[in-house]
Amino acid sequence: MTIAALVRGGLGGPPAFLLTGGLDLPPETTPITKALQSTAPGPYVVMYELDLTSKGGTVQRFTPMVRNDGAASAMSPVIFDGNSYTPIPIEAKGFEKSAKGQLARPTLSISNVTNIITQLLRDFDGLRGVKIRRIRTLAQYLDGGASPDPGQVLPVETYIIARKTQHNRQSVEFELRAAIDIEGVVIPKGNLLRSCQARYRVWDATAEEFTVADSTVACPYDGASYFDINDQPVANPAQDKASKTLGCCRARFGENAVLPFDGEPGAARAR
């Protein structure tokens, strides 16, 4: 399943997020640098390529840009250099260059309302180590633009997905690192934890409802079925506890469902 197919299946509305960040202009004088330094350069476009070829997949292309040229619906793909980029809500932070020469470690939050990213996480080994290319240009240089030219781009940036930092029903956030920052590194230097790191709901007997301490890392389960610490069905919501295992996920979401498991089940096998 591609990002494009999943978006068409129910994203429902244009992307809500915009991108920010400084522009590192190439030193040479090119049409795009001249345009960016003009008073009316036109819309700035950012596109991403998620390269899954190293894990047996294909290149997935997406963008937070929506069409407003009147020629197509807002959710129509953006076409550049013959490639189609699917509109999807994205929030990107930390791409600015450091004056101290430190490599950027930006974060990328991508809409997950149709389980787009959850499915990719399941199918492609958590996306760890996958390359992401960040491509920037102006709308006038897009295919069908006023001056189509695939050569008019700012320096293409390549990052590696270092780790997943948030995962819920609305979005999945990743921390990225410059490819040269971890060249040759296969396993991240951080601790690999076998148990799920999502915060599970807690029954509040006074309010007679479930609460979650930190909604940004909350388990997305909100069903009316309850399970104890051994993943066995129970009737009392106060006994609803998470074992933090894959069995815990399967009990709640189903054996064949896309599981939002936020851990590394095989971590204990590595010595």
The pLDDT tens digits for 90-133 are 999 888 765 455 566 889 999 988 888 888 988 998 898 899 99
Q: Check: CB of residue 79 under 8 Å from CB of residue 144.
A: yes
CA terminus-to-terminus distance, the chain: 35
pLDDT at residue 38 in the model: 84
206: pLDDT strictly greater than 80: yes
231: pLDDT strictly greater than 80: yes
Whole-angstrom CA distances from 71 to 4, 15, 109, 140, 146 are 19, 18, 29, 14, 13
Mean pLDDT for the stretch of residues 213-242:
85
pLDDT at residue 26 in the model: 54
| 74: phi then psi, degrees, rounded to nearest 5 | -60, -30
Q: Which residue has the tokens 């106060």?
A: 238
Closest CA to 117 of 48, 199, 20: 48
Query: What predicted TM-score, i.e. pTM, was given to this entire model?
Result: 0.60
Q: Check: CB of residue 31 under 8 Å from CB of residue 134.
A: no
Query: Out of 81-90, 185-194, 229-238, 252-261, which region has the weakest mean confidence (pLDDT)?
Result: 185-194
Long-range contacts of 199-207 (CB under 8 A, 24+ apart): 200/241, 200/242, 200/244, 201/240, 203/237, 203/238, 203/240, 205/238
CA 244/CA 242 separation, integer angstroms? 5
Higher per-residue pLDDT: 16 or 179: 179
| 246: phi then psi, degrees, rounded to nearest 5 | -65, -35
- Residue 227, beta-bridge partner list: 233
pLDDT confidence tier of residue 215, bands split at 50, 70 and 90 = low
11: pLDDT strictly greater than 60: no
pLDDT at residue 249 in the model: 86
Closest CA to 167 of 230, 115, 205: 115
Q: Where are the alpha helices (DSSP H) in 88-217?
A: 116-123
Query: Out of 13-17, 65-69, 98-102, which region has the weakest mean confidence (pLDDT)?
Result: 13-17
CA 199/CA 65 separation, integer angstroms? 33
Q: By percentage, how much of the chain surpasses pLDDT 70? A: 71
| 9: phi then psi, degrees, rounded to nearest 5 | -75, -10
